[in-house]
Amino acid sequence: MEIIIQPDAAQSARLVAAFIARAMRRKPDLVLGLATGSTPVPLYRELIRRHREDGLDFSRVTAFNLDEYLGIGPDHPGSYRRFMQVQLFDHINLSPGHTHLPDGLAPDVEAHCRHYEAQIRASGGIDIQVLGIGSDGHIGFNEPSSSLASRTRTKTLTSRTRRDNARFFENPADVPVECITMGIGTIMESRICLLLAAGERKAEAVAGALEGPITAMNPASALQLHPDTRVFLDEAAAGKLKMRAYYDEVFARDVFWNKLRQEDGRTL
Ligand code: GLP
């Protein structure tokens, strides 16, 4: 894993956006895996800015989101579909037919989950998967105890996750109890994973995921087995890492990132 610690989340967002923009230049029909929550919002702003100012072209890109609440429709203000429309899709030239989220109102949920997996496969697989991390270590909505080999399916949310996500709903009691999420096995098949975390609230989950044992009790720890995961942290989220000095040294010496800075022509 490559662990990149930046002074703040805005700097991380700029780096990750430059990484994605480079990948899109090389492969215009890139398949992007996207995440919801507060963490990727600065990244989405940066992608929108690049689309507007630099003409970053999403017209051939396909997007698959990690998860959706079960029992609410796309127009519900708390739905992840709505979130993605407002935070990203409405502001870039990604074709609506190329955006995919699980359907929280699917009549046959199991068949829908199988279909979602088939759609990912048919697209050629996810090239770059953007991930946040829950305060309990979840990725997507794979709560602790999720099988590390799981596929897209329904999950029951923990009360901690429902509390964490209550801010997106008018009333905390409105947060759905169940969801549909890509499995950890699904996420692990992405060619590249970009895990973003910011804030002290994430420090413990991050330290467990990166430096702890691989365990279903911290689902993000499965990424230790992924061949190309890059982790972007702000100072607070990196606060509990033991090998911090080493990660900084590796990043400073990294030829790829130094070259990207030059290619991108911006101060990253
Ligand atoms: C949510 C999402 C995850 C996200 C995580 C962190 O519940 N399902 O994909 O990474 O929890 O959210 P936030 O970025 O708001 O802290």
Structure tokens at 234: 């702000």
Atom of ligand 1 nearest to the CA of 40: 14
For ligand 1, say whether the CB of 102 is within 6 Å of any of its atoms.
no
What mean pLDDT do residues 32-36 have?
98
Catalytic residue numbers? 67, 136, 138, 143
137 C-alpha to ligand 1 centroid (Å): 10
Q: Which atom from ligand 1 is nearest to the alpha carbon of 140?
A: 9
Residue 237 · residue 206 · CB < 8 Å = yes
Average pLDDT over residues 235-263: 94
Ligand 1 pocket check for 67: Cβ under 6 Å: yes
Calculate how far, in angstroms, residue 24's C-alpha sits from the geometric centre of ligand 1. Answer: 25
Region 108-118 average pLDDT? 98
- Residue 84, pLDDT score: 98
Per-residue confidence (pLDDT) for residue 267, from 0 to 100:
60
Q: What is the pLDDT of residues 164-215, one digit of tens each?
A: 999 999 999 999 999 999 999 999 999 999 999 999 999 999 999 999 999 9
The Å distance, Cα 104 to ligand 1 centre, comes to: 17
Distance CA 101, CA 116 (A): 8
pLDDT digits (tens, 9 = 90+) for 35-86: 999 999 999 999 999 999 999 999 999 999 999 999 999 999 999 999 999 9
Is the CB of residue 36 below 6 angstroms from any atom belonging to ligand 1? yes
Please give the number of the atom of ligand 1 that sits closest to the Cα of 66.
Answer: 9
Identify the pLDDT of residue 261: 81
Distance 23 CA to ligand 1 centre (A): 24
Q: Give residue 263's pLDDT.
A: 80
The pTM of this model reads 0.97
Mean pLDDT for the chain overall: 96
Which of 138, 152, 159, 163 is the best mutation target for the ligand 1 pocket, counting ligand atoms within 8 Å of the beta carbon and taking the most?
A: 138
How confident is the model over 82-101, as a mean pLDDT?
98
User: Which residue ranges form the domains of the chain, and what is each CATH number?
Assistant: 2-262 (3.40.50.1360)
Q: For the chain, state the CA radius of gyration.
A: 17
